[in-house]
């Protein structure tokens, strides 16, 4: 497991240093694991047989590549140590242009070796210094292995460029792209004097269409735009080219001025002036001898108006417009001219000369090509072709790597063998050198040497070879003095890699080892992370260190540790309930005494004002709960007060009492329409409604649906009520919320069983009737949503539940419907086929009541569950009903079993009274 970070100064999210001194090792381990995750992610892309990665961006664009720098640039990495490896790949790309995957893989292997040394108790500073010494020694060894090369040896340069292209998607076209890259670099430098190459002098133009074999090196200019002429020339020989940075269109007024035209004559004058203005510019251009005009793109107005195009067509001037500002420098360097900023400077001496300017069509696209430039600069243009965008983009990246490899040879004119040969030789020489030194540094040197062998091991693994056997044989060959022995992945054997023309620039290897060791040293010396207020330390504990998916797992950690608790606290806030009540017209007119649900209060109203008053002593409630009696606000069961019970009276539902004594404390209901709607809504979630009306209605319409709905209702209610007494989250405090209902006030609040029933009952009705009756399912779903919404909002309006109670109830009900529906189907089939089903159902119901979870205080939940569970066998067992009432059987299809509501309630109450004593005897 990834170690967790300590707190920052004891306060969550504040800036500071870690006080827990045992954490530096954990932080260092976390950084190492995060960096190793990045290395492992691109390790499979190393070598000619490496795999490609498909990367999809947020806007849907897809990239297919095995270039390490491109992969790391486009993936999302948030761990700071992982970002260091991304920056390492960028640095290698800038310095050498190749080896971007190798440098990250080497860094990951060095970190793994360092982790093992740390576990042995070696101090990170000692490891860091030893790795730096080993890197310097490695550069010396590589320089001794290298062979000098001259830039005049084009054949060797092409071999090196081909090696760089061998691992790319376009490796099959390396015979074309490698010579092209070498030729392009040699054209922009002086081999005898230059020690670097500015790749900006090599412009790559990508044109969709054709194949990569159609790629060509143009000794001149290529514009992505087509000619702007309508009827003008498309091909100009002996061209005189002018590059202008001003517009050939009517000038516009600034934002503070307007041109007011009052009549047609004034309009004609304006048009004539514009025409004369443009005509004057065109005449000046033609007078200078210019026959090809390049116009820079303007953001203020049109660079070229339609009238100007018309005049330029007339004078036979070819026009290319909308040239980007960043291309101006390359164009002027290529043409050997200066850009013209105003008409006054449009003179013949400022024009460039070329043998041919023509518009070329390839497939459906057109572009302008300039060749035969007189006095050209040291620039070239590569016209890259491809059959689709993915191939074209990858060919561009591959060509860039080939150009960078040749540039490395210009900067350091030496090459070494490839195929894992230099890394194997380094491992051998460093291990031998480690024997000449003593102390802890010797262990570090050997670890550094072994870590470098990750390159040949990965090459063999990606090529489908046995990495252990291959690396072992490679070591033996190098131990015998064959320093050019390397892995030939195409032949699947170890050969003289120089004879196979698998070579690479010395700068690529030395840069990779130097940069990788510097990055590893930086990571090893980090022992603490201080985060700003907006970034908390726990965020850097990345699940992706273990799962190799850093971004997604970090987000989950953040949601779990930060976002989710805040959401829960917000949804539980009673002030949110109070705001909802106020929105629907419940206004507090005086402060309310705090109530936790255990103090008896009755609600009354006079002239629209609903008030709170203390409840006087009441006589025992007669009816289904007649076994209770009240005495001085004490709850008495069978003549004694149970231990641990809160003194309270069970009450009937008194949403509004009929008493009318005036009271100074209270609140105002400003909208009685909402009040009556939500009182009705909460009644729709009451067990009296579902235990009486719904079964009675379904029994007289469709017995199959009725039985199943009652079973769903019973299971959902039992689970919901049980969770209430296990979780024991209170209802919203009053104040700030106003409790408009007393029934169930002594129950806990989480989850809302009204919400659970409001979801499960309509949904089960739709599921069980959609294939039996012809009606619109969409209308049924809308009705279910409306039904559920009214019930849920009613519980918030009456102050009985928090928003979190409602949300959890809805989610829990939806989750339970998945297993409950098939379970109910199986149970219903058993009820219809077994003669023992009434007895079994009654036994199960009694057992569930007896073993119902005990609460820390008395609540009416157990009594409510007795009603639910005893209703189930009475309502759902057609065999029991037929035996007791001598009625016709209830079949699974629709049947007309006429059962009066009075008879049904009588049966329900009889069963309830017979079991309630057992359930509360257990709770006593």
Residues 578-611: pLDDT tens digits? Answer: 778 778 777 766 544 444 433 333 333 333 333 3
Name residues of the chain where pLDDT drops below 50: 1-21, 533-552, 555-556, 559, 591-665, 879-924
Looking at residue 763, what is its pLDDT?
Answer: 79
Give the count of alpha carbons within 13 A of 643, CB side only: 2
CA-closest candidate to residue 550, choices 76, 107, 105, 66: 76
Contact criterion met (CB below 8 Å) for 591 and 584: no
String of DSSP letters for 744-804: TTTS--SS-HHHHHHHHHHHHHHHHHTTTS---HHHHHHHHHHHHHHHHHHHHHTTS--HH
**What is residue 623's predicted lDDT score, i.e. its pLDDT?**
34
CB 421 within 8 A of CB 486: yes
- Number of Cβ within 10 Å of residue 142's Cβ equals 21
pLDDT score, position 12: 38
Residue 136 Ramachandran class (φ > 0 left, ψ -120 to 50 alpha, else beta): alpha
Give the C-alpha separation, 410 to 412, whole Å. Answer: 6
Closest Cα to residue 701, out of 709, 712, 713, 691? 709
- Chain center to CA of 441: 44
* H or E, element range at 669: strand 666-669
Q: Are 384 and 222 in contact (CB under 8 A)?
A: no
- Using CA atoms, how far residue 650 sits from 67, 626, 654, 723, 909, in Å, is 74, 10, 11, 22, 17
* Cα 278 from Cα 250, distance rounded (Å): 7
Q: How far apart are CA 693 and CA 687, in angstroms?
A: 10
pLDDT value of residue 847:
66
Residue-wise pLDDT for 820-859, tens only, equals: 777 777 776 666 666 665 666 667 666 666 555 655 555 5
d(CA 4, CA 794): 44
Looking at the DSSP bridge assignments, the partners of residue 353 are: 240
0.75 exceeded by pTM:
no
What domains, with CATH codes, occur in the chain? 1-20+528-569 (no CATH), 24-148+416-525 (1.10.560.10), 154-200+390-412 (3.30.260.10), 220-253+264-375 (3.50.7.10), 673-923 (no CATH)
The region that residue 420 occupies, defined by phi over 0 for left and psi between -120 and 50 for alpha, beta otherwise, is: left
Cis-peptide into 738, omega within 30 deg: no
Q: Where in the sequence numbering do the catalytic residues fall?
A: 67, 100-101, 401
- 629 touches 622 (CB < 8 A): no
52, 45 Cβ separation under 8 angstroms:
yes
Asked if 165 and 97 count as a contact pair (C-beta separation under 8 A), the reply is no
- SS3 state at 897: coil
Mean pLDDT of the chain: 74
- Find where tokens 């009820």 sit: 831
Note the pLDDT of residue 520: 93
Which residues touch 296 (CB under 8 Å, ≥6 apart)? Answer: 243, 244, 245, 303, 323, 324, 325, 328, 339
Residues 6+ apart with CB under 8 A from 176: 212, 213, 215
Per the listing, tokens 């209902």 go with 741
């Amino acid at each position: 497991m990834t170690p967790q970070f300590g707190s920052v100064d004891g306060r969550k999210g504040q800036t500071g240093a870690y006080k827990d001194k045992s954490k530096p090792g954990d932080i260092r381990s976390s950084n190492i694991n995060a960096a190793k995750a990045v290395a492992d992610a691109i390790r499979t892309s190393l070598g000619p047989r490496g795999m490609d990665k498909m990367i999809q961006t947020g806007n849907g664009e897809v990239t297919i590549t095995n270039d390490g720098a491109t992969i790391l640039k486009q993936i999302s990495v948030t761990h700071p140590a992982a970002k260091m490896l991304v920056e390492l790949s960028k640095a290698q790309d800038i310095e050498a242009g190749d080896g971007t995957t190798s440098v990250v893989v080497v860094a990951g292997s060095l970190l793994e070796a360092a982790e093992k040394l740390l576990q042995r108790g070696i101090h990170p500073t000692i490891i860091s210094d030893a790795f730096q010494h080993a890197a310097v020694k490695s550069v010396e060894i590589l320089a001794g292995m290298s062979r000098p090369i001259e830039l005049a040896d084009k054949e060797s340069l092409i071999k090196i460029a081909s090696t760089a292209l061998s691992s790319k998607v376009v490796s099959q076209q390396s015979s074309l792209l490698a010579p092209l890259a070498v030729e392009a670099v040699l054209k922009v430098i002086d081999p005898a004097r230059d020690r670097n190459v500015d790749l900006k002098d090599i412009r790559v133009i990508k044109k969709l269409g054709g194949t990569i074999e159609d790629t060509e090196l143009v000794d001149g200019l290529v514009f992505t735009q087509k000619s702007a002429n309508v009827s003008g020339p498309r091909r100009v020989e002996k061209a005189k080219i002018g590059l202008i940075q001003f517009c050939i269109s009517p000038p516009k007024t600034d934002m503070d001025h307007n041109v007011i035209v009052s009549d047609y004559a004034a309009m004609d004058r304006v048009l004539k002036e514009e025409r004369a203005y443009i005509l004057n510019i065109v005449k000046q251009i033609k007078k200078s001898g210019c026959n090809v005009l390049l116009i820079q793109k303007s953001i203020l107005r049109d660079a070229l108006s339609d009238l100007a195009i018309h005049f330029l067509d007339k004078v036979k001037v070819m026009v290319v417009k909308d040239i980007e500002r960043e291309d101006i420098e390359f164009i002027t360097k290529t043409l050997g001219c200066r850009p013209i900023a105003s008409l006054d400077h449009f003179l013949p001496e400022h024009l460039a000369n070329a043998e041919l300017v023509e518009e070329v069509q390839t497939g459906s696209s057109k572009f302008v090509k300039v060749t035969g430039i007189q006095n050209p600069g040291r620039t070239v243009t590569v016209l890259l072709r491809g059959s689709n965008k993915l191939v074209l983009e990858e060919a561009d990246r591959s060509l860039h790597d080939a150009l960078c490899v040749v540039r490395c040879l210009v900067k350091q004119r030496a090459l070494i063998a490839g195929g894992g040969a230099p890394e194997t030789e380094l491992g051998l020489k460093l291990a031998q050198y480690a024997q000449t030194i003593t102390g802890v540094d010797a262990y570090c040197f050997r670890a550094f040497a072994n870590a470098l062998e990750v390159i040949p091991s990965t090459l063999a693994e990606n090529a489908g070879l046995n990495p252990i056997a291959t690396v072992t044989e490679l070591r033996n060959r190098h131990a015998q003095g064959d320093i050019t022995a390397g892995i030939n992945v195409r032949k699947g054997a170890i050969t003289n890699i120089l004879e196979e023309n698998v070579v690479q620039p010395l700068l690529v290897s030395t840069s990779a080892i130097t940069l990788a060791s510097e990055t590893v040293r930086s990571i090893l010396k980090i022992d603490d992370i201080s985060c700003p207020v907006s970034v908390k330390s726990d965020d850097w504990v990345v699940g992706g260190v273990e799962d190799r998916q850093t971004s997604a797992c970090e987000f989950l950690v953040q949601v779990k540790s930060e976002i989710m608790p805040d959401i829960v606290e917000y949804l539980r806030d009673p002030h949110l309930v109070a705001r909802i009540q106020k929105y629907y017209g419940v206004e507090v007119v005086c402060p309310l005494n705090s109530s936790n649900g255990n103090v008896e209060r009755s609600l009354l109203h006079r002239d629209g004002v609903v008030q709170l008053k203390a409840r006087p002593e009441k006589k025992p409630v007669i009816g289904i709960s007649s076994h209770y009696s009240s005495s001085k606000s004490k709850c008495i069961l069978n003549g004694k007060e149970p231990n641990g019970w809160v003194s309270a009276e069970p009450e009937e539902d008194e949403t509004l009492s009929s008493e009318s004594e005036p009271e100074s404390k209270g609140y105002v209901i400003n909208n009685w329409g909402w009040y009556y709607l939500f009182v009705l809504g909460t009644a729709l979630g009451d067990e009296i409604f579902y235990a009486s009306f719904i079964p009675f209605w379904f029994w007289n319409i469709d017995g199959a649906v009725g039985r199943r709905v009652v079973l769903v209702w019973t299971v959902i209610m039992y689970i919901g009520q049980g969770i209430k007494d296990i979780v024991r989250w209170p209802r919203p405090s009053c104040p700030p919320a106003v409790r408009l209902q007393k029934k169930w006030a002594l129950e806990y609040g989480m989850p809302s069983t009204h919400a659970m029933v409001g979801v499960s009952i309509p949904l089960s009705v739709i599921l069980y009737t959609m294939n039996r009756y012809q009606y619109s399912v969409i209308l049924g779903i809308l009705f279910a949503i409306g039904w559920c919404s009214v019930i849920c909002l009613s519980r918030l309006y009456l102050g009985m539940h928090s928003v979190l109670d409602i949300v959890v109830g809805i989610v829990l009900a939806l989750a339970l419907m998945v297993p409950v529906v098939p379970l109910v189907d199986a149970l219903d089939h058993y009820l219809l086929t077994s003669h023992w089903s009434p007895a079994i159902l009654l036994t199960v119901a009694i057992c569930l009541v007896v073993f119902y979870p005990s609460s820390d205080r008395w609540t009416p939940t157990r009594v409510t569950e007795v009603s639910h569970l005893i209703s189930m066998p009475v309502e759902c067992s057609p065999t029991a009903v037929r035996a007791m009432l001598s009625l016709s059987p209830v079949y699974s299809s629709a049947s007309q079993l006429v059962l009066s509501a009075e008879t049904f309630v009588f049966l329900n109450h009889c069963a309830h009274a017979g079991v309630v004593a057992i359930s509360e005897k257990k709770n006593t």
